[in-house]
Amino acid sequence: MQNILHQLGIQAINSGTSTGTWWEEEKGEFIESFSPVDGKKIATVFCTSHAAYNLIINKAEQAFKEWRLWPAPRRGEVIRQVGEALRKNKDELGRLVSYEMGKSLQEGWGEVQEMIDICDFSVGLSRQLHGLTMHSERPGHRMYEQWHPLGIVGIISAFNFPVAVWSWNTMLAWVCGNVTIWKPSEKTPLCAVACQKIVADVFQKNGLPEGVSNLITGDKVLGEKIASDTHVPLVSATGSTRMGKSVGAAVGGRLGRSLLELGGNNAIIITPDADLNIAIRAAIFGAVGTAGQRCTSTRRLIIHEDIFETVKDRLVAAYSQLQIGNPLDEANHVGPLIDKSAVEQYQHALEQCRKEGGIFIIEGKVLEGDRFESGCYVKPCIVAVKPDSQIVQQETFAPILYLITYRDFEEAIAIQNSVPQGLSSAIMTLNLREAEQFLSVTGSDCGIANVNIGTSGAEIGGAFGGEKETGGGRESGSDAWKNYMRRQTNTINYSSILPLAQGIKFEI
């Protein structure tokens, strides 16, 4: 892995970085990055001091004054070059993501591909940041709206997607003319340092002002600092619902903007009219991909009672073929959980299942042996539960799949919508009426609703996010770019008189 770090240009690991600069003062606090793959220490990353944070804010504010004046297509050209740099470093960065976070190598590469895709999307967007033109009720007047950048965009990202979610926010923020400050998870700091290095090289070649892209590393105190900082008009935060409520309250208390993408508790409804070959494959990838640590992971299967036994038996057969181990080995399907704290949460959830009368179809356990020396590997499990069980109301970041039966379609929808979270959802059916009802106003209450694909694996072209305790934010595609800009309505009077709106008379 040290060779990978060297190839990515990471030699001196210091944080509190602004584009192209490694701040050297106050190397007291630090983070040690350990891999959940083998438990080994990868490197030490020094934390951002309060003095360095203030310096970075000042640099960012100065950079914004210049960067916002660059024409959007020119900003898009810089982002195009970032995408090209990511293509060149896809293998190495994907391997680092896999090793530091623990997801499979295929998923590590896939995450970097998401970064490349959002770069491509943003390049196109650089020539489409348009507003509306409206007809005025007053003669000789023209009305239109335009969009301006906000300034500094703060990005707080989670460990499970250590690079992709940053890029969703950052590329859109940059193409809109903003500058960014990124606070990554303290569990995956090296992935962030690698991204900063790749970006810094591109920016330096293009003569960008120092401070467009900024990285700060440390614990949650830094995240709280961003949330409370009036110099940061927009804070985009990805993580747990508890974290999101704290960030939302802090940002709202100063009347700033927050973009929250929080917990998911996602379900797939499997009807008697489902293609079970598709349904089983989607359910398994959704449940065990990234070891169940995606916000879009499939937590619940809501299965019609007439096909429950068939689905259960096919799941058991498929689970028996899962290979668990080092995620850098492409033969393995499931890697480790992020750390031993996550393992404890997994064990706690299993114990709660037992207390609530859950029936274990496949027992879960912590895996032991030389191949699992980090202590972070667990066995994916399946539990049949009642729809009103408390355990299914919460999100556990682990490969635990809950099976629930239903009798009629309205009951299935009610079960699907009965949890506090509202991120992703899916239905497996070849029945057109069922599919359309699932997507209708009386169907899924989630921000993402799919037919005959699983809950996990969103494309960057569509806006990503959910409702209820998922936070209501939207990132990535569609018109999510508007989150990173302020709307301005303009009226131009090109006549020789001054008529008032609504026909009001005001004579002097």
Q: Distance between CA 419 and CA 430 in Å, rounded?
A: 26
Return the closest-CA partner of residue 76 out of 173, 175, 165, 196: 175
Q: Active site includes 261?
A: yes
Token couple for 400: 């635990």
What are 496's two structure tokens? Answer: 């020789």
Catalytic member of 92, 107, 114, 261 = 261
Contact 276, 311 (CB under 8 A): yes
Cβ(379)–Cβ(367) under 8 Å?
Answer: yes
Q: Identify whether the C-beta of residue 233 lies closer than 8 Å to the C-beta of residue 257.
A: yes
Query: What are the Cα distances from residue 231, in Å, to 59, 60, 256, 391?
Result: 12, 10, 10, 40
Would you list the DSSP string of 86-150?
HHHTHHHHHHHHHHHH---HHHHHHHHHHHHHHHHHHHHHTT-----EEE-SSTTEEEEEEEEE-
For 178, phi then psi, to 5°, come to -90, 165
401: left (phi over 0), alpha (psi -120 to 50) or beta: beta
SS3 289: helix
Residue 110 burial (10 A CB sphere; 0-12, 13-18, 19+): middle
Closest CA to 278 of 226, 328, 318, 308: 318
| 442 C-beta neighbours (distance < 10 Å), count | 11
Closest CA to 471 of 200, 251, 310, 187: 251
Q: Two tokens at 114?
A: 């998401």
Distance CA 148, CA 482 (A): 10
Pairing mode, strands 463-464 and 475-476: antiparallel
Task: Return the axis-axis angle of helices 220-228 and 241-253, rounded to nearest 10°.
Answer: 30
d(CA 415, CA 404): 9
145 Cβ contact partners less than 8 Å away, ≥ 6 residues apart? 131, 132, 134, 487, 488, 489, 490
Structure tokens that stand for 304 in this block: 């019609």
Query: What is the edge-to-edge ordering of all strands in the sheet holding 266-270?
Result: 359-362, 381-384, 400-406, 298-304, 266-270, 424-428, 448-451
What distances in angstroms separate CA 249 from CA 235, 242, 253, one per listed residue?
A: 12, 11, 6
List, by residue number, the catalytic residues. 261
